[in-house]
Amino acid sequence: MAYQYESISLGRPPADRAAAADHCWFPGPPPPIYSCTLTPDLEAKAREELQEKPEWRLRDVQALRDMILKEHPNLRTRLDDAFLLRFLRARKFDYDRALQLLLNYHAGRKAWPEVFQDLKPSTVRHVLDLGFLTVLPRPDPRGRYILFLRPGKWKPNDYPFVDNVRAIYLTLEKLIQPEETQVNGIVILADYTGVGMSQASNPGPFLAKKVVSILQDGFPIRIKAVNIINEPRIFKGIFAIIKPFLKEKMAERYVLHGSDLRSLHQNIPPSVLPEGYGGTAGRLDMSAWSRLLLDCEEEFIVEFCQPDPLEGVVLPDSMLFEGEHAGGKDEDTVRGLRSQLYYCY
């Protein structure tokens, strides 16, 4: 059976040497013809934590590829080694769970066209220019890159909240390309300075549920910790919206620091933090990550601006996001949680 996919070269180098030098702080993806880029230490870590055996790696990839071709022959997805390894690593080389994650990954695109239609960096330039997110240039001592969010920079009158989700998703897609991120995972740091009632009540439970569903069950990345700093009292209401949709393990990874930098430094060392957060890594530069994403416009066009990969594919109802059918229940939840927000505020 012929593979129903096109060979996609993601993470191709920027067009000029100056741009390549500008992005040298962030590792590139594996080569088009897969060759493992993990160091011996990371291979040992992958063996211990992910049940990845180097001598069986390509056999495992082929097993997952065969399952896709046999069980979902009409699914238009990448089948190259590097791409499928993301899903195997995210599910500790359990074939069935890796396949489910891959199907969820594509189902998420179908369930939320507002996020995934025409998804490319140039369409979220306004989010990047606002300073809503960046990736800190230095990973933490465990090799985990830090996705830094500043929700207070966004105001509902600026643009729809879903644009923030688009920018986050593009960032995750770039972060997951290097194999070291697939093994080490990432850390999220969110500074809630400036977040008030208008931002807190805008997404609502329905939107929060869809975001959490994609991050937990529809994307091949390991989120190892979520650090919240400078959260206002209203955050109790915000977390009340999110927590019901979090798995227990993920909920336990949320750490609230308030304004206590010493508490933050116990989780993220000063050596990787910018000056404004008691760190020694220099001034916060929000533009470096923006430039990196924008220079990768072509690869995202190839990846996301193509026909629906699930067109003609029938998925069981269990794979659809529950929010698609929740309707009135979610509306009742919105009213109840908004009351909590006003109480906290």
- Cβ atoms of residues 204 and 312 within 8 Å: no
- Whether residues 187 and 77 fall in one domain: no
Q: 94 is in which domain, residue-wise?
A: 31-111
pLDDT over 70 (residue 9): no
Residues 87 and 147 in one domain: no
Q: Structural domain tally of the chain?
A: 2
Neighbours of 21 (CB within 10 A): 10
Task: Please report how many Cα atoms fall inside a 13 Å half-sphere around the Cα of residue 14, on the Cβ side.
Answer: 16
Same domain, 155 and 54: no
Task: Report yes or no: 146 and 135 within 8 Å, Cβ to Cβ.
Answer: yes
Proportion of the chain above pLDDT 90, given as a percent = 65
Q: Are residues 145 and 180 in the same domain?
A: yes
Residue 267 and residue 142 share a domain: yes
Task: Check which CATH number belongs to the domain holding 91 and give it.
Answer: 1.10.8.20
Query: What is the structure's pLDDT at 306?
Result: 63
Whether residue 210 contacts residue 322, with contact meaning beta carbons closer than 8 Å, is answered with no
Q: What is the pLDDT of residue 64?
A: 98
Tell whether 99 and 138 lie within a shared domain: no
- pLDDT score recorded for residue 206: 74
Q: Is residue 18 part of a domain?
A: no
Of 285, 300, 315, which residue sits at a domain end? Answer: 300
- Same-domain status, 90 and 121: no
CATH, residue 160: 3.40.525.10
- Mean per-residue pLDDT, 116-135: 96
pLDDT of residue 171: 97
Q: Is the pLDDT of residue 199 over 80?
A: no
* Domain stop point among 57, 88, 111: 111
Same domain, 120 and 98: no
| Residue of 156 and 4 predicted with greater confidence | 156
Q: Are residues 202 and 142 in the same domain?
A: yes
pLDDT tens digits along 159-183: 999 999 999 999 999 999 999 999 9
pLDDT in tens, 38-49: 999 999 999 999
Q: Are 154 and 148 in contact (CB under 8 A)?
A: no
